[in-house]
Structure 1
Amino acid sequence: MAVTDDAITRIKQMIMDGELTPGAKLPREGDLAERLGLSRNSLREAVRALSLIHVLDVRQGDGTYVTSLEPRLLLSAMEFVVDFHHDDTVLHFLEVRRILEPAATAAAAAKLTDAEIDALAAHLDSLPDDPTPEELVDSDLVFHRAIAKGSGNPVLASLLETIAGPTHRARIWRGLTQQRATEQTIREHRQILSGLRARQPDVAAAAAVVHIAGVEDWLRRAAAAEPSVAGE
């Protein structure tokens, strides 16, 4: 289990045990990190991840609070993490994407204009040097949407757009918890772009397979690392 995942699990357990109730303020960062046996950086990343899904509310200059949600809603918000790690639905969506996306990418390699490929390159270049997981995934969605549209098949593009939604949060979660996920994603986008620019459908499609399989592999390994949760 990644260090950030471990930190998230420990904070989650404090909430589930009632030690931190909805509306409660978290202890000071240093005190909580020491109590949980975590580095401040790991704790900070965990807080950031949990605030992203509205389990925690970070108030600038005030502190961090458990969101004032009804217990039922709070538990529902926490369960989405389990969905990523143990619900096969997300994996099924990724499997379908792994089948369709390379086909769209191969078609786009033959049909995208030079100007459209230049626009894809400019889009990748516009990403900050150190993007947040949210920025990276938003960029990823735009990149793949343009390629799907460039396939010339509106039905295929529509299917891929539908599949993108259920996997969006999983991809952000990967960026938050997997080391070097950002660098890997950027490198794989560049490889796809290279295949498109060279007008090599097979190369572009293969790069797309590798790119999507990376998320799928991460999710399968994450599930295997937390067998106890699956049995709850």
Structure 2
Amino acid sequence: MRGGSVPVTDEAIEKIKTMIVSGELGPGDRLPKEADLAERLGLSRSSLREAVKALSLIRVLDVRQGDGTYVTSLAPDLLLDALGFVVDFHRDDTVLDFLEVRRILEPAATAMAALAMPEAEIVALGGVLAELGEEPTVEALVANDLDFHRRIAAGSGNPVLCSLIESLSGPTARARIWRGLTQEGAVRRTREQHQAIYEAIASRQPEVARSWATVHIAGVEEWLRTMLGSAEGALTSAEVNGSGKRSAQDRP
């Protein structure tokens, strides 16, 4: 059973949150001194201290030793770091869940990028595809894939959407390596689909871009669903981590 201090700490967190949401404290503002703030909010200094500690962990507050406690920039990428931390604890059997969410979010981001991505960034996106050699290792292909999708998410112009997609990319990377090593034609299809996505963005065709992004992610998702349902499809860290440096041409 939890001690009685938890609700008090929750109350302290809520009161600080209210000060920020109401605009009484804004990004970059310094909190009043601990004793003054505790008295003003009707809290004990210990519960206020615990609340500050909790809010600093999720990047709402920044505790600077010898200087004071400040509200952070509250930028989406900063606040969503906490989500990335939680995502790192995923289990292999939840990878399909992450892929399903990616299939919902990334096509929308890709369509938005086709409308909003600046020309210079589209050129840079094409450069990412051109960097890949004719016979890349699967490891190099997946690194290139992560950069490609990251740039598209950023090109959507929505920093919250971009941060969410980046948080979801890590857990699915190993599945993409495994697919590249085991599924015939996976590397070729990945490159072709990347090219189609790029061309749709470059020609400012949002619905075509959305469709190709859906096909691209759904392909990995359906392959993994099939493999997880197969007795021969057991994924082990040794298979992926030990084989990631093999050439795409060497896959079974």
Q: TM-score range by the shorter chain?
A: 0.5 to 0.7
Q: In the alignment, what sits opposite 1:127?
A: 132
Which of residues 155, 161, 167 in structure 1 aligns to 2:166?
Answer: 161
Please state if 1:202 is matched with 2:207.
yes
Where does 1:22-41 land on structure 2 (aligned, <5 Å)? none
Q: In the alignment, what sits opposite 2:97?
A: 92
Specify the code of the residue in structure 2 equivalent to 1:91: L
Could you report, residue by residue, the CA deviation over 1:36-71 in whole angstroms, capped at 9, with x for unpaired residues? Answer: xxxxxxxxxxxxxxxxxxxxxxxxxxxxxxxxxxxx
Bigger Cα displacement from structure 2, 221-230 vs 105-114: 221-230
Q: In the alignment, what sits opposite 2:60?
A: none
Structure 1 counterpart SS, 2:229: helix
Please state if 1:144 is matched with 2:149.
yes
- Root-mean-square deviation (CA, aligned residues, Å) is 1.7
Deviation at 1:229, TM superposition (A): 6.4
**Contact map agreement 2:112 2:157 (CA 8 A) in 1:** yes
Deviation at 1:227, TM superposition (A): 7.6
Structure 1 counterpart SS, 2:184: coil
Structure 2: distance between partners of 1:168 and 1:188: 17
Q: In the alignment, what sits opposite 2:10?
A: none
Specify the code of the residue in structure 1 equivalent to 2:183: Q
**Contact map agreement 2:142 2:176 (CA 8 A) in 1:** yes
Q: State the TM-score, normalizing by the size of structure 2.
A: 0.55
Which of residues 117, 120, 128 in structure 1 aligns to 2:122?
Answer: 117
Structure 1: distance between partners of 2:192 and 2:146: 16
Please state if 1:214 is matched with 2:219.
yes
Please state if 1:180 is matched with 2:185.
yes
- The unaligned stretches of length 5 or more in structure 1 are 1-82
Bigger Cα displacement from structure 2, 220-229 vs 157-166: 220-229
Deviation at 1:124, TM superposition (A): 0.1
Specify the code of the residue in structure 2 equivalent to 1:153: N
Structure 2: distance between partners of 1:193 and 1:228: 32
Identity %: 57
**Contact map agreement 2:227 2:233 (CA 8 A) in 1:** no
Q: State the TM-score, normalizing by the size of structure 1.
A: 0.60
Please state if 1:171 is matched with 2:176.
yes
Q: How many pairs does the alignment contain?
A: 145
Structure 2 counterpart SS, 1:170: helix
Deviation at 1:154, TM superposition (A): 0.5
Structure 2: distance between partners of 1:96 and 1:229: 23
Structure 2: distance between partners of 1:228 and 1:147: 31
Structure 2: distance between partners of 1:227 and 1:215: 17
Structure 1: distance between partners of 2:234 and 2:131: 39
Relative contact order higher in (CA < 8 Å, ≥ 6 apart): 1
